[in-house]
Amino acid sequence: MNFTASVIAEFLKGSVEGNPEAAVNDVSKIEEGRAGTISFLANPKYEKYIYDTKSSIVIVNADFSPQKSIPATLIRVQNAYEAFAALLRLYEQSKPKKSGISKQASISESATVGKDIYVGEFTVVSDNAILDDGVQLYPQVYVGDRVTIGEGTILHAGVKVYEGCVIGAHCVIHSGAIIGADGFGFAPNQENNYEKVPQLGKVIIEDHVEIGANTTVDRSTMGATILRKGVKLDNLIMVGHNVEIGENTVIAAQSGVSGSSKIGKNCMFGGQVGLIGHITIANGVKIAAQSGITKDIKEEGIVIQGSPAFEFGPYQRSMAIFRNLPKLVNQINDLDKRTQNL
């Protein structure tokens, strides 16, 4: 289906600069633009491509000032990245949804199944599970006993949800993720062996949460491990037992959150961040990639880096000194030799 620049601009509440009848039916990167596609320019590093792109339409920020003529039709909006994301969401929603229950799926007679659901091949829905309207379970998903899955939630192929866990509405959980496996709880005994501490709690995932591929969220020892509304977890993340992650917090790949830590809302963690257990992170904290957090962070909105982590500015200055340590050592040794010769 083709869409003209004027129709797209109306949807995005933007303005057209160029041919309002320019039509597109696909998307492309601005550096790989093709006729009949739409691209966007948000990062100034990519501005050089807009002057030669073959894309028929390019979405740009309202304040973009070109240095020379541009062959493509422009649509000016307040935020080009957000506008392009809105277009992609519209395209995603327009694709036909899978529906129906495969004959090769296994659904317990005691399970409650809503309307307009999809259950793929070799998926198992166990006793007393509840699937609300519009739930989509792709092939080889496992839904344990007494699991509740909210309206419109999608579990991609191979997701496993252990018994008793609760997943809210309009969540997306990607392939290989495991929700509700036992937390890492072992106690040494008198024979110097480790005895397993039963993990009797569950995982609660609130609405509009997205969890990446092969990420694991452990069930609590007692009570619940909780991911609040709007949390976004990347691939390959480990969330320990009894952890709570606040609303709209985002965590990048290969990060780990140890048991019983509490993370505030609107936090942002870079990749490979690690938190020890039983600490609290304030709202709005930003943690740079590969940082190690060993104590509570009580100041809201602070940016930290390092292992152990501390404030971003002092860390950067410290790194500048660290890089010069060999030179400084040589200078000190030279001064020491001169002093001894006096």
Residue-level pLDDT at 173? 98
Whether residue 188 sits in one domain with residue 71: no
- The alpha carbons of the chain give a radius of gyration, in whole angstroms, of 26
Taking a C-beta distance cutoff of 8 angstroms, is the pair 322, 337 a contact? no
In a domain, 212, yes or no: yes
Residue-level pLDDT at 106? 98
CA distance 287 to 306: 9
**124: domain range?**
100-310
In a domain, 71, yes or no: yes
In sequence order, the 6+-apart residues with CB closer than 8 A to the CB of 334 are: none
Whether residue 173 sits in one domain with residue 35: no
Whether residue 245 sits in one domain with residue 178: yes
In a domain, 151, yes or no: yes
Number of domains in the chain: 2
Whether residue 108 sits in one domain with residue 19: no
pTM for this model (two decimals): 0.86
What CATH number is given to the structural domain containing 210?
2.160.10.10
Residue-level pLDDT at 221? 94
Residuewise pLDDT in 10s, the chain (342 residues): 689 999 999 999 999 999 999 999 999 999 999 999 999 999 999 999 999 999 999 999 999 999 999 999 999 999 999 999 999 888 887 778 889 999 999 999 999 999 999 999 999 999 999 999 999 999 999 999 999 999 999 999 999 999 999 999 999 999 999 999 999 999 888 888 999 999 999 999 999 999 999 999 999 999 999 999 999 999 999 999 999 999 999 999 999 999 999 999 999 999 999 999 999 999 999 999 999 999 999 999 999 998 888 788 887 888 777 788 888 888 888 888 888 877
Tokens of 69: 């003529």
Whether residue 173 sits in one domain with residue 126: yes
Whether residue 76 sits in one domain with residue 205: no
Pairing state of beta strands 280-281 and 23-24? unpaired
- Please report which helix (H) or strand (E) contains residue 61, including its range: strand 57-61
- Catalytic status, residue 208: no
In a domain, 216, yes or no: yes
Residue tagged active-site, from 156, 174, 208, 241: 241
Whether residue 56 sits in one domain with residue 196: no
